[in-house]
Protein backbone atom coordinates (compact mmCIF):
# COMPACT_ATOMS: atom_id res chain seq x y z
CA UNK A 1 0.00 0.00 0.00
CA UNK A 2 1.34 3.39 -0.92
CA UNK A 3 0.90 6.04 1.75
CA UNK A 4 0.19 9.07 -0.40
CA UNK A 5 1.35 11.44 2.34
CA UNK A 6 4.92 10.16 2.07
CA UNK A 7 7.27 10.89 -0.80
CA UNK A 8 7.55 7.89 -3.07
CA UNK A 9 9.38 6.54 -6.07
CA UNK A 10 9.38 3.63 -8.47
CA UNK A 11 11.80 0.72 -8.39
CA UNK A 12 11.88 -1.24 -11.62
CA UNK A 13 13.08 -4.80 -11.13
CA UNK A 14 15.56 -5.59 -13.94
CA UNK A 15 17.09 -8.80 -12.58
CA UNK A 16 15.38 -10.98 -15.18
CA UNK A 17 16.86 -8.83 -17.92
CA UNK A 18 20.15 -7.19 -16.89
CA UNK A 19 20.79 -9.82 -14.24
CA UNK A 20 20.16 -12.97 -16.29
CA UNK A 21 21.72 -11.51 -19.44
CA UNK A 22 25.14 -12.87 -18.55
CA UNK A 23 24.16 -16.06 -16.76
CA UNK A 24 23.92 -19.39 -18.51
CA UNK A 25 20.44 -19.45 -20.09
CA UNK A 26 17.84 -20.16 -17.43
CA UNK A 27 14.87 -22.41 -18.36
CA UNK A 28 11.53 -20.70 -18.89
CA UNK A 29 10.01 -22.54 -15.91
CA UNK A 30 12.70 -21.08 -13.63
CA UNK A 31 12.07 -17.58 -14.97
CA UNK A 32 8.37 -18.02 -14.19
CA UNK A 33 9.23 -19.18 -10.68
CA UNK A 34 11.36 -16.06 -10.25
CA UNK A 35 8.49 -13.89 -11.51
CA UNK A 36 6.17 -15.57 -9.01
CA UNK A 37 8.62 -14.67 -6.24
CA UNK A 38 9.11 -11.09 -7.43
CA UNK A 39 5.42 -10.45 -8.07
CA UNK A 40 4.61 -10.69 -4.35
CA UNK A 41 7.29 -8.19 -3.26
CA UNK A 42 5.12 -5.18 -4.02
CA UNK A 43 7.26 -4.03 -6.93
CA UNK A 44 5.07 -2.40 -9.58
CA UNK A 45 7.33 -2.56 -12.63
CA UNK A 46 9.42 -5.40 -14.04
CA UNK A 47 11.67 -5.37 -17.09
CA UNK A 48 10.97 -8.98 -18.01
CA UNK A 49 13.17 -9.70 -21.01
CA UNK A 50 14.87 -8.31 -24.07
CA UNK A 51 13.78 -8.66 -27.69
CA UNK A 52 17.20 -8.93 -29.25
CA UNK A 53 18.95 -11.46 -31.49
CA UNK A 54 18.95 -14.88 -29.78
CA UNK A 55 22.34 -15.48 -31.39
CA UNK A 56 23.76 -12.39 -29.72
CA UNK A 57 22.10 -13.01 -26.34
CA UNK A 58 20.97 -16.64 -25.90
CA UNK A 59 19.53 -15.82 -22.47
CA UNK A 60 16.57 -14.10 -24.17
CA UNK A 61 15.85 -16.62 -26.93
CA UNK A 62 12.59 -17.33 -25.08
CA UNK A 63 11.38 -13.70 -25.11
CA UNK A 64 8.13 -14.45 -26.98
CA UNK A 65 7.45 -17.54 -24.87
CA UNK A 66 7.99 -15.62 -21.64
CA UNK A 67 5.83 -12.74 -22.85
CA UNK A 68 2.92 -15.13 -23.37
CA UNK A 69 2.86 -15.78 -19.61
CA UNK A 70 2.98 -12.19 -18.34
CA UNK A 71 -0.82 -11.82 -18.21
CA UNK A 72 -0.62 -13.97 -15.07
CA UNK A 73 0.44 -10.92 -13.07
CA UNK A 74 -2.11 -8.25 -14.04
CA UNK A 75 -1.06 -5.75 -11.35
CA UNK A 76 2.51 -5.50 -12.65
CA UNK A 77 3.60 -3.18 -15.45
CA UNK A 78 5.95 -5.23 -17.61
CA UNK A 79 8.47 -3.81 -20.03
CA UNK A 80 11.19 -5.12 -22.32
CA UNK A 81 14.48 -3.86 -23.61
CA UNK A 82 14.79 -3.51 -27.37
CA UNK A 83 17.82 -2.66 -29.50
CA UNK A 84 16.09 -1.75 -32.78
CA UNK A 85 12.70 -1.07 -34.41
CA UNK A 86 12.61 -4.75 -35.31
CA UNK A 87 12.91 -5.72 -31.66
CA UNK A 88 10.22 -3.18 -30.81
CA UNK A 89 7.89 -4.80 -33.36
CA UNK A 90 8.54 -8.23 -31.83
CA UNK A 91 7.77 -6.84 -28.38
CA UNK A 92 4.47 -5.14 -29.20
CA UNK A 93 3.40 -8.15 -31.25
CA UNK A 94 3.95 -10.13 -28.05
CA UNK A 95 1.82 -7.60 -26.12
CA UNK A 96 4.80 -6.12 -24.30
CA UNK A 97 4.06 -2.48 -25.05
CA UNK A 98 6.35 -0.63 -22.63
CA UNK A 99 9.75 -0.42 -24.23
CA UNK A 100 13.24 0.53 -23.12
CA UNK A 101 15.58 1.45 -25.93
CA UNK A 102 19.29 2.01 -25.38
CA UNK A 103 21.23 4.84 -26.99
CA UNK A 104 24.93 4.87 -26.13
CA UNK A 105 26.41 8.27 -25.42
CA UNK A 106 29.60 7.38 -27.31
CA UNK A 107 30.07 6.09 -30.84
CA UNK A 108 32.65 3.57 -29.62
CA UNK A 109 30.26 1.92 -27.15
CA UNK A 110 27.38 2.17 -29.61
CA UNK A 111 29.44 0.43 -32.28
CA UNK A 112 30.51 -2.34 -29.88
CA UNK A 113 26.98 -2.79 -28.57
CA UNK A 114 24.77 -2.42 -31.68
CA UNK A 115 27.12 -1.63 -34.61
CA UNK A 116 25.63 1.82 -35.06
CA UNK A 117 26.79 5.33 -34.24
CA UNK A 118 25.04 7.31 -31.53
CA UNK A 119 23.46 9.45 -34.28
CA UNK A 120 22.13 6.37 -36.09
CA UNK A 121 20.77 4.96 -32.83
CA UNK A 122 18.98 8.26 -32.12
CA UNK A 123 17.17 8.18 -35.48
CA UNK A 124 15.33 5.02 -34.40
CA UNK A 125 13.82 6.65 -31.29
CA UNK A 126 10.81 8.10 -33.11
CA UNK A 127 10.00 4.79 -34.83
CA UNK A 128 10.22 2.87 -31.55
CA UNK A 129 8.22 5.51 -29.69
CA UNK A 130 5.51 5.36 -32.36
CA UNK A 131 5.36 1.58 -32.08
CA UNK A 132 5.02 1.74 -28.29
CA UNK A 133 2.49 4.55 -28.33
CA UNK A 134 0.49 2.89 -31.12
CA UNK A 135 0.15 -0.18 -28.90
CA UNK A 136 -0.86 1.91 -25.86
CA UNK A 137 2.53 1.71 -24.17
CA UNK A 138 5.47 3.90 -23.28
CA UNK A 139 8.93 4.40 -24.75
CA UNK A 140 11.90 5.08 -22.48
CA UNK A 141 15.37 5.87 -23.75
CA UNK A 142 18.20 4.59 -21.59
CA UNK A 143 21.40 6.49 -22.31
CA UNK A 144 24.21 3.99 -21.86
CA UNK A 145 27.72 5.06 -20.78
CA UNK A 146 26.10 8.31 -19.62
CA UNK A 147 29.15 9.21 -17.52
CA UNK A 148 32.06 7.00 -18.58
CA UNK A 149 32.75 4.76 -21.56
CA UNK A 150 35.11 1.77 -21.37
CA UNK A 151 36.47 2.76 -24.80
CA UNK A 152 36.30 6.58 -24.91
CA UNK A 153 36.69 7.52 -21.25
CA UNK A 154 34.87 10.46 -19.68
CA UNK A 155 31.64 11.62 -21.32
CA UNK A 156 30.82 15.30 -21.11
CA UNK A 157 27.62 16.05 -19.17
CA UNK A 158 26.54 18.52 -21.87
CA UNK A 159 26.83 15.77 -24.47
CA UNK A 160 24.74 13.28 -22.46
CA UNK A 161 22.15 15.95 -21.66
CA UNK A 162 21.87 16.86 -25.35
CA UNK A 163 21.17 13.21 -26.23
CA UNK A 164 18.46 13.23 -23.57
CA UNK A 165 16.93 16.37 -25.03
CA UNK A 166 16.93 14.98 -28.54
CA UNK A 167 15.45 11.64 -27.42
CA UNK A 168 12.57 13.47 -25.75
CA UNK A 169 12.11 15.62 -28.86
CA UNK A 170 11.94 12.40 -30.89
CA UNK A 171 9.14 11.02 -28.74
CA UNK A 172 10.66 9.34 -25.68
CA UNK A 173 8.34 9.53 -22.67
CA UNK A 174 11.20 9.53 -20.22
CA UNK A 175 14.96 9.16 -19.96
CA UNK A 176 17.17 6.91 -17.88
CA UNK A 177 20.88 7.36 -17.42
CA UNK A 178 22.94 4.18 -17.42
CA UNK A 179 26.15 3.95 -15.40
CA UNK A 180 27.18 1.05 -17.58
CA UNK A 181 30.59 0.35 -16.04
CA UNK A 182 29.72 1.38 -12.50
CA UNK A 183 31.97 4.39 -12.12
CA UNK A 184 29.58 7.20 -11.20
CA UNK A 185 29.68 8.90 -7.80
CA UNK A 186 27.21 11.27 -6.13
CA UNK A 187 29.01 14.44 -7.20
CA UNK A 188 28.97 13.48 -10.87
CA UNK A 189 25.36 12.29 -10.59
CA UNK A 190 24.31 15.69 -9.30
CA UNK A 191 26.37 17.46 -11.94
CA UNK A 192 24.74 15.61 -14.86
CA UNK A 193 21.24 16.01 -13.46
CA UNK A 194 21.81 19.75 -13.04
CA UNK A 195 22.77 20.04 -16.71
CA UNK A 196 19.85 17.85 -17.82
CA UNK A 197 17.45 19.97 -15.78
CA UNK A 198 18.64 23.05 -17.67
CA UNK A 199 18.67 21.47 -21.15
CA UNK A 200 15.57 19.29 -20.90
CA UNK A 201 13.44 20.62 -18.04
CA UNK A 202 10.41 18.74 -16.77
CA UNK A 203 11.37 15.34 -18.19
CA UNK A 204 10.67 12.28 -16.08
CA UNK A 205 14.08 10.82 -15.19
CA UNK A 206 15.42 7.47 -14.06
CA UNK A 207 18.82 5.99 -13.32
CA UNK A 208 20.25 2.56 -14.05
CA UNK A 209 23.20 1.97 -11.74
CA UNK A 210 25.73 -0.75 -11.18
CA UNK A 211 27.44 -1.29 -7.85
CA UNK A 212 30.81 -2.27 -9.28
CA UNK A 213 32.77 0.07 -7.02
CA UNK A 214 30.36 -0.01 -4.07
CA UNK A 215 28.99 3.51 -4.68
CA UNK A 216 25.72 2.63 -6.44
CA UNK A 217 23.42 3.24 -3.49
CA UNK A 218 25.11 6.54 -2.68
CA UNK A 219 24.64 7.69 -6.27
CA UNK A 220 21.00 6.58 -6.12
CA UNK A 221 20.49 8.70 -3.02
CA UNK A 222 22.10 11.69 -4.74
CA UNK A 223 19.86 11.11 -7.78
CA UNK A 224 16.78 11.09 -5.56
CA UNK A 225 17.88 14.30 -3.88
CA UNK A 226 18.19 15.83 -7.38
CA UNK A 227 14.64 14.86 -8.36
CA UNK A 228 14.99 11.41 -9.96
CA UNK A 229 11.96 9.24 -9.17
CA UNK A 230 12.68 6.04 -11.10
CA UNK A 231 15.37 3.49 -10.21
CA UNK A 232 16.38 0.26 -11.89
CA UNK A 233 17.59 -2.45 -9.53
CA UNK A 234 18.22 -6.17 -9.59
CA UNK A 235 17.24 -8.48 -6.75
CA UNK A 236 20.33 -9.84 -5.01
CA UNK A 237 22.41 -7.41 -7.05
CA UNK A 238 22.44 -10.05 -9.80
CA UNK A 239 24.53 -9.20 -12.80
CA UNK A 240 28.09 -8.31 -13.54
CA UNK A 241 30.40 -8.95 -16.39
CA UNK A 242 31.62 -12.31 -17.69
CA UNK A 243 35.07 -10.80 -18.11
CA UNK A 244 35.15 -9.43 -14.55
CA UNK A 245 34.30 -12.36 -12.25
CA UNK A 246 34.43 -10.36 -9.04
CA UNK A 247 32.51 -7.35 -10.27
CA UNK A 248 28.97 -6.89 -9.06
CA UNK A 249 25.86 -6.19 -11.08
CA UNK A 250 23.05 -3.73 -10.68
CA UNK A 251 22.36 -2.12 -7.36
CA UNK A 252 20.36 -4.60 -5.28
CA UNK A 253 16.59 -4.14 -5.10
CA UNK A 254 16.46 -5.05 -1.42
CA UNK A 255 19.21 -2.55 -0.52
CA UNK A 256 17.56 0.22 -2.53
CA UNK A 257 14.15 -0.46 -0.98
CA UNK A 258 15.71 -0.63 2.50
CA UNK A 259 17.57 2.65 2.02
CA UNK A 260 14.54 4.56 0.84
CA UNK A 261 11.88 3.01 3.06
CA UNK A 262 13.96 3.55 6.20
CA UNK A 263 14.58 7.11 5.00
CA UNK A 264 10.84 7.75 4.85
CA UNK A 265 10.47 7.40 1.07
CA UNK A 266 7.86 4.88 -0.01
CA UNK A 267 8.85 2.29 -2.63
CA UNK A 268 5.96 -0.14 -2.17
CA UNK A 269 8.53 -2.94 -2.03
CA UNK A 270 8.66 -5.28 0.99
CA UNK A 271 12.22 -6.14 2.01
CA UNK A 272 11.42 -9.57 3.46
CA UNK A 273 9.60 -10.63 0.30
CA UNK A 274 12.55 -9.53 -1.83
CA UNK A 275 14.93 -11.51 0.41
CA UNK A 276 12.71 -14.58 -0.13
CA UNK A 277 12.89 -13.98 -3.89
CA UNK A 278 16.68 -13.68 -3.71
CA UNK A 279 16.83 -17.07 -1.99
CA UNK A 280 14.89 -18.55 -4.95
CA UNK A 281 17.22 -16.73 -7.32
CA UNK A 282 20.31 -18.11 -5.62
CA UNK A 283 19.01 -21.64 -6.16
CA UNK A 284 18.26 -20.88 -9.82
CA UNK A 285 21.65 -19.37 -10.69
CA UNK A 286 23.61 -21.66 -8.37
CA UNK A 287 26.02 -19.09 -6.98
CA UNK A 288 26.31 -16.48 -4.27
CA UNK A 289 25.01 -12.97 -4.84
CA UNK A 290 26.73 -9.70 -4.12
CA UNK A 291 24.00 -8.05 -2.03
CA UNK A 292 25.34 -7.13 1.42
CA UNK A 293 21.81 -7.02 2.81
CA UNK A 294 21.08 -10.54 1.59
CA UNK A 295 24.36 -11.81 3.06
CA UNK A 296 23.55 -10.18 6.40
CA UNK A 297 20.09 -11.76 6.24
CA UNK A 298 21.53 -15.23 5.58
CA UNK A 299 24.13 -14.78 8.33
CA UNK A 300 21.38 -13.74 10.74
CA UNK A 301 19.30 -16.79 9.83
CA UNK A 302 22.34 -19.03 10.34
CA UNK A 303 22.92 -17.43 13.73
CA UNK A 304 19.36 -18.18 14.79
CA UNK A 305 19.69 -21.75 13.49
CA UNK A 306 22.97 -22.17 15.42
CA UNK A 307 21.27 -20.97 18.60
CA UNK A 308 18.50 -23.50 17.99
CA UNK A 309 21.07 -26.29 17.63
CA UNK A 310 22.92 -25.19 20.74
CA UNK A 311 19.73 -25.37 22.78
CA UNK A 312 19.07 -28.95 21.82
Complex with its own copies: residue 68 or 151, whichever CB lies closer: 151
Check if the beta carbon of residue 234 is closer than 8 Å to that of residue 251: yes
Using CB under 8 A, which of 199, 217, 278, 281 touches its own copies? Answer: 217
296 scored as a contact of its own copies (CB under 8 A): yes
Distance (Å, whole) CA 79 – CA 16: 11
Interface with its own copies in residues 193-212 (CB under 8 A) = 211-212
* Contact window for its own copies (CB under 8 A) among 12-20, 27-35, 199-207, 288-296: 288-296
Min dist CB 227 to its own copies, Å, is 15
CA angle centred on 119, ends 116 and 121, rounded to 5°: 50
Using CB under 8 A, which of 21, 250, 267, 291 touches its own copies? Answer: 291
The single residue of 111, 241, 247, 265 carrying the catalytic annotation is 241
Count CB atoms within 10 A of the CB of residue 32. Answer: 15
Is 241 one of the annotated active-site residues of the chain? Answer: yes
Determine the 3-state secondary structure of 97 from DSSP: coil
Long-range CB contacts (< 8 A, 24+ apart) of 85-89? 85/124, 85/127, 85/128, 85/131, 87/50, 87/51, 87/52, 88/51, 88/127, 88/128, 88/131, 88/132, 89/131
Q: Site mask, its own copies, residues 223-262, x = CB under 8 A?
A: --x---------------x-xxxxxx---x--x--xxx-x
Using CB under 8 A, which of 118, 183, 234, 253 touches its own copies? Answer: 183
Helices and strands counted in the chain (H then E): 12, 10
Q: Which alpha helices (H) appear in the chain, and where do they start and end?
A: 28-39, 63-67, 85-93, 107-114, 118-123, 125-134, 157-169, 186-199, 216-225, 253-262, 271-285, 292-311
Min dist CB 204 to its own copies, Å, is 23
* Contact window for its own copies (CB under 8 A) among 24-32, 42-50, 127-135, 286-294: 286-294
Catalytic residues: 241
- Contact residues for its own copies (CB under 8 A)? 182-183, 185-188, 211-215, 217-218, 220-222, 225, 241, 243-248, 252, 255, 258-260, 262-265, 290-293, 295-296, 298-300, 302-303
Amino acid sequence: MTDTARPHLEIREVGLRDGLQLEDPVPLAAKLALLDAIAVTGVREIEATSFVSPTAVPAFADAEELAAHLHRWPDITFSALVASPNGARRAVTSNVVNLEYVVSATDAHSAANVRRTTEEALTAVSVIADLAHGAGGTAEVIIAVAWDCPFSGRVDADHTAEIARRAVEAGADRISFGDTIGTVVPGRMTQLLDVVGAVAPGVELGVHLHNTRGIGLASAWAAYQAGVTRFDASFGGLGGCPFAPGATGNIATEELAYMFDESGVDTGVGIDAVLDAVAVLRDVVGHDLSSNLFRAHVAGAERVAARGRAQR
